[in-house]
Structure 1
Amino acid sequence: MSPPVAPPGWSRWLVPPAALSVHLSIGQAYAWSVFKPPLESALGLSGTQSALPFQLGIVMLGLSAAFGGTLVERNGPRWAMTVALVCFSTGFLIASLGAATEQYWLIVFGYGFVGGIGLGIGYISPVSTLIKWFPDRPGMATGIAIMGFGGGALIASPWSAQMLKSFGSDSSGIALAFLVHGLSYAVFMTLGVLLVRVPRSEKPVVEARPGPLDGVQVSAKNAVRTPQFWCLWLVLCMNVTAGIGILEKAAPMITDFFADTSTPVSVSAAAGFVALLSAANMAGRIGWSSTSDLIGRKNIYRVYLGVGAVMYLLISQFGDSSKPLFIICALVILSFYGGGFATVPAYLKDLFGTYQVGAIHGRLLTAWSTAGVLGPLIVNWIADRQKDAGKHGAALYDTSFLIMIGLLVVGFVANELIRPVHVRHHIPAPREATDDDSVQPQRSA
C-alpha cells in the first residue's frame, strides 16, 4: 500500500497530526495499571501475573519494530498504520472475549501478543517520514508525534476508570471496557491512515542511496555492527527499565505507599496519578526532545540518566513521608522516560544519518522489549516477595528503587562511551558526474 505523495504546496505540519492519531491510540498501553486491580480481584491474579499482558505487549512492540522496520521503510507509513490499526484493535477484541469467558490466557494473547504487534508497527510507522519532512528539527518533529504515545494514557486512564465504574469491575465489565476500546481506537487510527503523506522526493518502494552531500550515512545492516548502536541500546534499555517500573504499577504503587498514613489514596486519585504520569511522559517527549536540538543528544541523556537516579534516591529515602515529593519525583522520572524515547530517533540520525533510520530505530527498540520485561518484573516480583515476608507500604518498593538507581548509572556510563561512527561503516557515495574519469568516488564524511 503505497502512501500518496504530498501535492505541491502541502503543509508538512499536517503530518504530525496523522502520527498523533496513531500514537495517542496505542499509548493506551501506559494506562494498563488501571486494569490491574480489577483483573486481580476478578480472576484471582497476583501483581506479577496481572502485569503479563503489558509485559508481553512491550516485548512484541520491540520485536515487531525490529523485524518490521525494513518493511515499514519499504512500504511506507500508510501500510504500517493500517497494520497497526488491525492488530491493535483486534487485540482488544480478543482480550474482551478472554475477560468475558474468564480465560486469562486470551487476555494475555490478545492484548499482549496481537496488540503488541500493533504497538510496534504503529510506533515506528511515522518516524522515518517525520525526519524526512523535518530535517532541520528532527528532535522536535519526532517529539511531537511520539509525545502522543506518552499522552495516550492521559485520555485512556480516566476513560478506562469511568468505564469500569459504569460497567462494573467484574469480568463482564472488564470485557465491555476492552470492547469499547477496540472499536473506538479503530475509528481514531483510521484518521492517521487517511491523512498521512510522504515528501515528493520520497521513494515509497526502493529507497535511494545517499548522495555525496548527505553526510554520514550508515545502513541498518552496518549500524548493528557498531559499538555506538549497542551503547545506545544499553542507554535506552536502562532509561526505559527505570521509567516503566513505575508506570506499569503506578496506581497500586501510590496506594501502597500511603496506605498506612492518615490520608490514604483512593481509587479515583490513583487513576488521577496515572493520568498525571501520562501528562509528564507526554510533556517530556516534546519538551526534552526539542531541548536536545539545542544542547545535543549526549547532554540531554546525561540529564535523563543522572538526574533520574537522584529522583529515585529521593523517593526511596523520603517518598513515603511526603505525597508532593513522591509525585514530583515520579513526574520528573516519567518526563525523562518519555524524553528518552522521543530523542533517540534524532540521536540515531546524528550517528547513522537518515538512510534507513526507520529500520535502525526498529532494531534499537528491542531494548524496549528487554526493559518491558525487566522493569515490571523487578518491581512486581520484589513487591510480591516483600508482601509474603509480611512487609507493607513503601517497604514493598525500597529494594526495587535501589536497583533502578544502579541501572541508571550503567546507562550513564554507556552514554559517555558513544563516539562518532567510524568511516568504515559509512555507505560509499555514488560517483559524481565529471569529465575526468580519474576522479575517485568519495565517501561521505
Structure 2
Amino acid sequence: MLSIPHRTRLMLVCCAVGAVASSSGGIFTFPILSPALVSHLKLTQPQLTTIVLAGVAGQYPFAVFVGKVVDTYGPWVCSLASAGLLSSGFGLFAWEIAKTPDDISLPSQSSFYRLTLFYFMCGLGTVFGLFTSLFAASKNFPQHLGFASGGSMAMFGLSPLFLTYVASGFYFSSETGLDVTSYVTFLAIYSGIVHVGAAMILCLPADEKAVVDAGPSAGAAPTLSDASSSSVPSERDSLLPKGAHIDVEIVDVQLKGSNDSAWNLVKDPDFWLLFFVTFAILGSVSTCEMVISNIGSITLSLPSVRTAGFVALDRETDIATSTQVRVISLSNTVARLVSGPLADFISPIASYLPSGVRSYPRKHWISRMAFTVGAGVLCVLGFLSLEIAIRSQASLWWLSVCTGTAYGVMFTVLPSILSAVWGADNLGRNFGIMSYAAFVGTPTFSYLYAFVAERHAERGVCTGVDCWTLTFWVVAGSVSASCLVSSLLWRRWRGLC
C-alpha cells in the first residue's frame, strides 16, 4: 500500500477522530425516540427502560474486550466493528418499527425482545466507536495524551447534541412529530459511512522516513525489548529528543513493564488504589455520575425561587432541571477541553534513557495526580455546599459546576496516567478494566441515593434536605478518602507522571 506523508496522515486522522466521535452517540438520543415508541408500538415504561439500558449500560461489560482489540489490531478494526454493529443495529431497529402496524392495541412481546437486542448491538457499536476515537487520537499523539483524550471524549460527549439538532432540523414535523423510522435509518447509514471511511484512514501507513525522524514517543517507558529492537544510532544522533528538558537524577521509582499481562496488572496494589480513586470520583460514593443520574430529583426536593414551599412537577421545575443538566454538560465539556492541554503543558510525560536518566519535552511542574486530587476536592466542595448552604433550586448551579468539572477532568487525565505508569502497549485493555470502577460505582451509589430518598418520601415524592443528607455525607467522606489515596500515589509515582 502506498504510504503518504506523515503530517498529511495526521491531519486525516484528526478528521477521522472527529467524525467518529461526533457520530457515535446515537444511542443517547433515545429520549426523542421514546414518545413514538409508546404511541406506535404501545411499549410500556419498563419496556422502554429495558431497551435503553440494553444500549447504554451494556457498554461497560465489553470495555476490556474492546480495549484488547484496539491494542492488538489497532483502532481501524474497532472502527469497522463499530460500523457493522451501528449500521445493522439501527437499521434493524428502524425496520422493526416500520413493519409494525399502526392499529395495534397491545405491545408485541417478540417485537420488544428484538428491539432490545438491536439496541444492545447499537450500544456495543458505541463503545467500539468511543475506543476508536479515543485511542486513535492517543496513539497518534503520544506526547499530547491529555489534549488527545480530552478532545476526542469532548466531541463524543457533544455527539448527542449534534444528532438531536439533525433530528429536529430534518426529521421533525409540527403536525406529526419526529419521523422515527427515517431518523433511525439516517443513523444507520451515517454511522456506517463515517466509521468505514475512518477505518480506511486509520489503516493508512505513514511515510516511513517521517516516522523515523519523529523518534520514539515520550509516553511509554523504555523496555529491554525496545532497546534491542531499535535501529543502531550513528555518531550524529542526539541522545535526547530535541528541546527536551533533562533531569539528571537517576530514576528512583520502579518502572512498571508495558507488556505485563492482565493478571500482573490486577496483582499490582497501585492499580487498585487508582481503581478506588476512580470508583469514588466517577462512579460511586461521591460520584459525579450519581449526581448526573439524580439531578432531577435533587432539584425537585428543593423549593423554587418564586414559591415559599415545595412545588410539584410543573413547568418551572422542569426548566430548573433542564438548566442543571445543561450546566453539568457544559462544565464537563469545558473541563475536558481545558484540562487535557493544561496537563500536557505542566505535566509532560517523561521519557527514559537506558541509563535510568529521565527527560521531559518541557519543564515538568507537577504530577498528573494533582488533577485527580483537584477533581476530588471539587466534588467534596460541591457536596459539602449542598449539605450546608444550598437550599433552593437557584443555588444548585454550584453543585452542577463542581460535579461536571470533576467528571470531565478525571476522565481526561486517566488514560495518560495509565499510559505513563503501565505503558501504552496495553492502554486500551487497562482503560477498559479501569472503567469497571465507574460501572460498579454508578449503580451502587445511585441506589443508595434512591433508597435514602424513598425512606423519606411522602405520597411518592421526597422533599426537603432529608432526601439526600445521609447520602452526601457518605459520598463526601468517600471522596475525601480518595483524595488521600491520590496524594499517596502522587508521592509513589514521582517522576512517572
- Scaled by the length of structure 2, the TM-score of the pair is 0.67
How many angstroms does 1:397 deviate by?
4.6
Cα distance in 1 for residues equivalent to 2:409 and 2:2: 31
Q: Would you say the 8 A contact 1:308–1:332 is kept in 2?
A: yes
Q: Would you say the 8 A contact 2:302–2:392 is kept in 1?
A: no
Task: Name which of 245, 262, 271 aligns with 1:229.
Answer: 271
Higher helix share: 1
How many angstroms does 1:337 deviate by?
0.8
Query: 1:432 maps to which residue?
Result: none
Cα distance in 2 for residues equivalent to 1:178 and 1:11: 32
Q: Percent identity?
A: 18
The one-letter code of the counterpart of 1:212 is A
Task: Name which of 346, 350, 366 aligns with 2:416.
Answer: 346
Cα distance in 1 for residues equivalent to 2:113 and 2:456: 27
- The gaps in structure 1 that reach 5 residues or longer are 203-207, 423-443
Query: 2:258 maps to which residue?
Result: 218
For residues 135-192 of structure 1, the C-alpha deviation after alignment (integer angstroms, 9 at most, x for no partner) is 32211122111212222243345666887885878xx976766555444444444453
| Aligned ranges 1:44-443 → 2 under 5 Å | 44-45=44-45, 52-53=50-51, 55-93=53-91, 97=96, 105-111=113-119, 113-156=120-163, 166=174, 178=184, 180-196=186-202, 200=206, 210-212=225-227, 217-221=257-261, 222-241=264-283, 242-250=287-295, 254=299, 257=302, 262=307, 264-265=315-316, 270-271=321-322, 273-293=324-344, 294=346, 295-323=366-394, 325-374=395-444, 376-380=446-450, 382-383=452-453, 386-387=456-457, 390-393=460-463, 396-418=467-489
Over 3 Å counting, the alpha-carbon distance change for 1:178 and 1:10 in structure 2 is: closer
- The gaps in structure 2 that reach 5 residues or longer are 101-106, 212-222, 231-254, 308-313, 347-365
The one-letter code of the counterpart of 1:290 is P
How many angstroms does 1:297 deviate by?
1.7
Cα distance in 2 for residues equivalent to 1:128 and 1:296: 22
How many angstroms does 1:69 deviate by?
1.8
How many angstroms does 1:398 deviate by?
4.6
Query: 1:440 maps to which residue?
Result: none
Task: Name which of 24, 37, 43 aligns with 1:26.
Answer: 24
Cα distance in 2 for residues equivalent to 1:259 and 1:38: 32
Q: Would you say the 8 A contact 1:58–1:368 is kept in 2?
A: no
Cα distance in 2 for residues equivalent to 1:216 and 1:9: 32
What SS does the aligned partner of 1:308 have? helix
Tell me: higher relative CO, structure 1 or 2? Use CA pairs within 8 A at least 6 residues apart: 1
- Scaled by the length of structure 1, the TM-score of the pair is 0.74
Is 1:16 the counterpart of 2:67? The answer is: no
Q: Would you say the 8 A contact 2:21–2:156 is kept in 1?
A: yes
CA RMSD of aligned residues (A): 4.2
Moved more, 383-392 or 55-64: 383-392
Cα distance in 2 for residues equivalent to 1:419 and 1:140: 21
How many angstroms does 1:402 deviate by?
3.9
Larger radius of gyration: 2
Over 3 Å counting, the alpha-carbon distance change for 1:336 and 1:98 in structure 2 is: farther
